[in-house]
Amino acid sequence: MIYIKDLMSGLPIFKALSSEVRIQIIELLIRNSSMNLNELANELKLSNGAITMHIKKLEESGIIQINTTVGKHGIQKICYLNEDKLFIDMKSNEKENLYEVELQVGHFSNYAAAPTCGLATKDSIIGDFDDPRYFADPQRIYAEIIWLAEGFLEYRIPNYLKPNQQFKEIQFSMELSSEAPGYNNHYPSDIYFYLNNVEIGSWTSPGDFGDVRGNFNPDWWPPHLNQYGMLKLIRINQQGSFIDGCRISDVSLNEIELDYKSDLVLRLAVPPHSANKRGLTIYGKSFGNYSQDLLVRVLYDVVEQP
């Protein structure tokens, strides 16, 4: 997701979207996942020079990504959508207080995992498939994809607030899917979210997707395994808990009772009581369709001291 928190910072994106041709390019990439420059030029009946100019503006804005590969006819430039969601915060204030951190998906602090399960770095599988012992392997901190049929992953989030600051909202963004043996596009799983052991709600993943290859998957990743997930944005504030803007519970920050000394522990779980207990997969930068790990944004207010 591309997040624009003030209109001026979004100018490169607005300029990139100001062309009907560039909108058509984005629509083609949405339908086809990836295309090379010749395919785009032929589809839009443009010269290679013209398509290159439009692609350059889209790449500079961060909307698309280009990878170079060697094909039958020499070097080819393959175009992918870098993000498929654009969020513009019209009410954002440049003076808003916030900090952001990005945690690799392998930096979990606690876990429980039942097969099918496993971890992989961008270079190889860690240990063996379906052996939960490897979740404790020192190499797990480099994992960029993790999957389990039942259990949980916990992540410790740094709390950088000072005594005169208080939490306003906490946001978590991550790419998730179910976990099927191999893959199954229709495999619903209830994934639960907890903050400091307080259940804030759940989301039902519709499947463990593998119909097309994930945009960022390494070349060695087998095609018969899951390929990508869905990008989800979880928000907790004083009004309740939300996922992609939809309320998932009335649990608010007040009920979690956070202050500047608090630990912050996020748990992703498929617990035994799940109605649809079909696992979870979390994707990092080198897997799936989004070049990101677990993103955390903390918004806070400054309060006057008595």
Q: What is the pTM of this model?
A: 0.73
> How many other CB atoms are there within 10 angstroms of residue 284's CB atom?
28
Report the alpha-carbon distance of residue 231 to residue 229 in Å, rounded: 7
User: According to the model, what pLDDT value does residue 12 have?
Assistant: 72
Distances in Å between the Cα of 252 and the Cα atoms of 263, 266, 284, 294 are 16, 15, 28, 21
**Domain segments of the chain as ranges:** 2-86, 96-302
C-alpha 239: how far from its chain's center?
Answer: 24
Contact 223, 182 (CB under 8 A): no
CATH class of this structure's domain 96-302: mainly beta
Peptide linkage before 116 cis (omega within 30 of 0): yes
Check: CB of residue 99 under 8 Å from CB of residue 298: yes
Contact 184, 208 (CB under 8 A): yes
Q: Is the dihedral of CA 281, 286, 288, 294 positive or negative?
A: positive
Q: What is the pLDDT along the chain (306 residues), one digit of tens a residue?
A: 566 665 655 667 888 888 999 999 999 988 887 888 989 999 999 998 899 989 988 887 778 878 777 766 677 888 888 766 676 766 555 557 999 999 999 999 999 999 999 999 999 999 999 999 999 999 999 999 999 999 999 999 999 999 999 999 999 999 999 999 999 999 999 999 999 999 999 999 999 999 999 989 999 999 999 999 999 999 999 999 999 888 999 999 999 999 999 999 999 999 999 999 999 999 999 999 888 999 999 999 998 766
State the Cα angle at 165 between 172 and 106, rounded to 5°: 30
Rounded CA-CA distance 269/173 in Å is 16
DSSP string spanning the chain?
-EEESSTGGGHHHHHHTT-HHHHHHHHHHHHHSEEEHHHHHHHHT--HHHHHHHHHHHHHHTSEEEEEEEETTEEEEEEEES-S-EEE-TT--TT-EEEEEEE-TT--SEEEEEEEEEEE-SS-BSS-TT-GGGGGSGGGGG-SEEEEEEEEEEEEEP----TTEEEEEEEEEEEEE---SS-BSS--EEEEEEETTEEEEEEEE--BB-SS--TT--TTS-TTS--B-EEEEEEEETTEEEETTEEEES--HHHHT--TT--EEEEEEE-TT-SS---EEEE-TTSTTSS--EEEEEEEEE----
Two tokens, residue 278: 């079909």
Q: Please determine, looking at this structure, whether the domain spanning 2-86 carries the CATH number 3.90.580.10.
A: no
Show the tokens assigned to 212. 């097309």
Rg (the chain; Cα; Å): 21
